[in-house]
Structure 1
Amino acid sequence: MEEYEIAVIGGGPAGIMAAIAASQNSSSVILLEKNFSLGRKLLITGGGRCNITNSKPINTLLNSYSHKNFLKHSFYSFTNEDLLSLFDLEFITEEDNRVFPKSGKSSDILKGLTDKIEDVSISYNFEVTSITNDFVINDKLKADKIIIATGGITYPQTGCDIKNYSLTSHPLTEIKYGLVPLITKNDLSEIAGVTLYDVVISYKKSRVKGNVLFSHVGLTGPAVINLSNEISEGISYNLLENEPEINLEVAIDLCPELTRENLMAKFNKDFQSKGKTMIKNYMKLFLTNSFIEYFLNECKIDGETQLSRINKKSKNRLVENLKRFVFEITGFNDKLAKVTIGGVDIKNVNPKTMESKLIPNLYFAGEVLDLHGPTGGYNLKIAFSTGYLAGLSASEK
Structure 2
Amino acid sequence: MDEYEIAVIGGGPAGIMAAIAASQNSSNVILLEKNSSLGRKLLMSGGGRCNITNQKPIKKLLNVYPQKNFLKHSFFTFTNEMLLSIFEDKGLNFIEEDDNRIFPESEKSKDVLNILTDYLDSVVISYNLEVKSIERGFIINDNIKADKVIVATGGITYPQTGCSPDNYFLTSQPVTDIKYGLAPLITKKDLSSIAGITLFDVVVSYKKHKVKGNVLFSHVGLTGPAIINLSNEISEVLTYNLLENEPKLDFEIAIDLCPNLSRDDLHEKFNSDFQLKGKTMLKNYLKMFLTNSFIEFFLNEINLDGELQLSRVNKKSKNRLIENLKRFTFEITDFNKDLAKVTIGGVDLDNINPKTMESTLIPNLYFAGEVLDLHGPTGGYNLKIAFSTGYLAGMSASEK
TM-score by length of 2: 0.98
Structural mapping, 1:61-76, within 5 Å: 61-76=61-76
Correspondent of 2:361 among 358, 366, 378: 358
1:202 aligned residue: 205
Give the superposed CA RMSD: 0.8
The reply on whether 1:187 has 2:187 as its aligned counterpart is no
2:292 aligned residue: 289
Shift of 1:310: 1.6
| Equivalent-residue separation in structure 2 for 1:126 and 1:256 (angstroms) | 51
1:53 aligned residue: 53
Q: 1:122-156 CA distances to partner (integer Å, 9 max, x unpaired)? A: 11110000111111111121111110000000111
The reply on whether 1:337 has 2:340 as its aligned counterpart is yes
| Equivalent-residue separation in structure 2 for 1:264 and 1:354 (angstroms) | 55
Q: Give secondary structure in 1 for the equivalent of 2:322.
A: helix
| Letter of the 2:45 counterpart | T
Shift of 1:247: 1.0
| Equivalent-residue separation in structure 2 for 1:2 and 1:76 (angstroms) | 35
1:24 aligned residue: 24
1:7 aligned residue: 7
1:383 aligned residue: 386
Structural mapping, 1:205-244, within 5 Å: 205-244=208-247
| Letter of the 1:109 counterpart | V
2:372 aligned residue: 369
| Equivalent-residue separation in structure 2 for 1:186 and 1:157 (angstroms) | 30
| Equivalent-residue separation in structure 1 for 2:220 and 2:287 (angstroms) | 25
| Equivalent-residue separation in structure 2 for 1:92 and 1:168 (angstroms) | 40
The reply on whether 1:127 has 2:130 as its aligned counterpart is yes
2:309 aligned residue: 306
The reply on whether 1:318 has 2:321 as its aligned counterpart is yes
Deviates most, 317-326 or 257-266: 257-266
| Equivalent-residue separation in structure 1 for 2:307 and 2:143 (angstroms) | 74
Shift of 1:168: 2.6
Q: Give secondary structure in 1 for the equivalent of 2:119.
A: helix
TM-score by length of 1: 0.99
Correspondent of 1:150 among 149, 153, 162: 153
| Letter of the 1:331 counterpart | D
Percent same amino acid among aligned pairs?
A: 77
Shift of 1:281: 0.9
Q: Give secondary structure in 2 for the equivalent of 1:27.
A: coil
The reply on whether 1:254 has 2:257 as its aligned counterpart is yes
| Letter of the 1:279 counterpart | L
| Letter of the 1:39 counterpart | G
Unpaired segments ≥5 residues, structure 2: none
- Maintained 8 Å contact 1:179/1:374: yes
Q: Give secondary structure in 2 for the equivalent of 1:160.
A: coil
How many residues are aligned here?
Answer: 397
Q: Give secondary structure in 2 for the equivalent of 1:85.
A: helix
| Equivalent-residue separation in structure 1 for 2:107 and 2:172 (angstroms) | 39
2:142 aligned residue: 139
Q: 1:172-216 CA distances to partner (integer Å, 9 max, x unpaired)? A: 111011111111110110111111000011111111111111111
| Letter of the 2:37 counterpart | S
| Equivalent-residue separation in structure 1 for 2:58 and 2:261 (angstroms) | 34
Shift of 1:92: 0.8
1:39 aligned residue: 39
The reply on whether 1:113 has 2:116 as its aligned counterpart is yes
| Equivalent-residue separation in structure 2 for 1:294 and 1:187 (angstroms) | 12
Shift of 1:278: 1.2
| Letter of the 2:263 counterpart | R
- Maintained 8 Å contact 1:168/1:344: no
Q: Give secondary structure in 2 for the equivalent of 1:22.
A: helix
Shift of 1:331: 0.7
1:84 aligned residue: 84
| Equivalent-residue separation in structure 2 for 1:48 and 1:138 (angstroms) | 33
- Maintained 8 Å contact 1:148/1:168: no
Unpaired segments ≥5 residues, structure 1: none
Q: Give secondary structure in 2 for the equivalent of 1:250.
A: strand
Give runs of ≥4 in structure 1 deviating > 3 Å. Answer: none
Q: 1:152-172 CA distances to partner (integer Å, 9 max, x unpaired)? A: 001111111111111132101
Q: Give secondary structure in 2 for the equivalent of 1:139.
A: coil
| Equivalent-residue separation in structure 1 for 2:79 and 2:47 (angstroms) | 24
Q: Give secondary structure in 1 for the equivalent of 2:86.
A: coil
| Equivalent-residue separation in structure 2 for 1:260 and 1:66 (angstroms) | 32
